[in-house]
Amino acid sequence: MNDAILPAPRPPSGPAIPAAYFGERVTWVHHWTERLFSFRCTRDPAFRFRAGEFAMIGLMADGKPLVRAYSMASPTWDEELEFLSIKVQHGPLTSRLQHVAVGDVVLIGRKPTGTLVTDNLRPGRTLWLLATGTGLAPFLSLAREPDVYERFEKVVVAHTVREVRELAHRELFERDLPDHELLGEIVAGKLLYYPSVTREPFRTQGRITTLIETGRIFADLGLPPLDPANDRVMLCGSEAMNRDCKAMLEARGFEEGANNAPGTYVVEKAFVTK
């Protein structure tokens, strides 16, 4: 049977889905805070992506697609898709998307893309995944991808947020992944989770650039300071975080990678400030 000739699945009711999108059903919603939520939805088998990529996703609004860039937070082997989303009070999309419920239809763009993929990095020993806020999303996918642990000896997920309760998926890293029946063995001794908080007391406080520059993160994790000979870095944060980390990495001799030109670090904006 040739899948290509089967018509794309259509929701039984509601507006027609434009050809550039899959229409998928929401299967789970979880609100972390009044500014942050996650949801899962069904996944068309034809929707393929590389861990770390993003797609245009959203809703039909007034008969038209209303979409924004979103990183897939789920691993590529998952039969569903998962997203981690901000709630912007007057944001065109997220003022609506935050109200999605199980059974609702969401649009998933058919063309995933992005720079935060392991193919854009040269081989190395330790992979550093540095995120602020929803910049964690692509790393939720990469950190659950067995192939990443074949390529790297250590994988560090460093997530910086303002308040402790914004440490979304902390339990995934601290408990669920190590306990996972299949991934547990793969990540054991390799995956290191390093949460930090900037505006509240926490065991690791401060901006990621400060934690790197003071050497605190290396002392805490028992790893040597960043060195382009061994380390590979992915950045996904606010424009300020990306800019400061880029400058710090380049001062240490790291080179930015891109599609068809692998480097020692790659970067993607977690969002664009208008």
Ligand X SMILES: Cc1cc2nc3c(=O)[nH]c(=O)nc-3n(C[C@H](O)[C@H](O)[C@H](O)COP(=O)(O)OP(=O)(O)OC[C@H]3O[C@@H](n4cnc5c(N)ncnc54)[C@H](O)[C@@H]3O)c2cc1C
Query: Does residue 120 bind ligand X (CB under 6 A)?
Result: no
CB 234 within 8 A of CB 265: yes
Q: Toward ligand X, which CB reaches closer, 109 or 124?
A: 109
Query: Does residue 89 bind ligand X (CB under 6 A)?
Result: no
Which amino acid would we find at residue 258? A
CB 65 within 8 A of CB 14: no
Query: Does residue 272 bind ligand X (CB under 6 A)?
Result: yes
Query: Does residue 252 bind ligand X (CB under 6 A)?
Result: no
Nearest distance in Å: CB 35, ligand X: 8
| Residue 256 to residue 250: CA distance in whole angstroms | 8
Which amino acid would we find at residue 256? E
Q: Which of 69, 100, 223, 248 binds ligand X (CB under 6 A)?
A: 69
What tokens were used for 45?
């088998």
Query: Does residue 93 bind ligand X (CB under 6 A)?
Result: yes
3-state secondary structure of 223: coil
Q: Which of 14, 18, 92, 224 binds ligand X (CB under 6 A)?
A: 92
Pairing of strands 265-269, 105-109: unpaired
Task: Give bridge partners of residue 193 from the DSSP assignment.
Answer: 157
Query: Does residue 42 bind ligand X (CB under 6 A)?
Result: no
Q: Toward ligand X, which CB reaches closer, 6 or 272?
A: 272
Nearest distance in Å: CB 218, ligand X: 28
| Residue that the structure tokens 């670090």 belong to | 265
Question: What residues line the site for ligand X (CB under 6 A)?
Answer: 54, 68-71, 84-86, 88, 91-95, 133-134, 137, 268-274
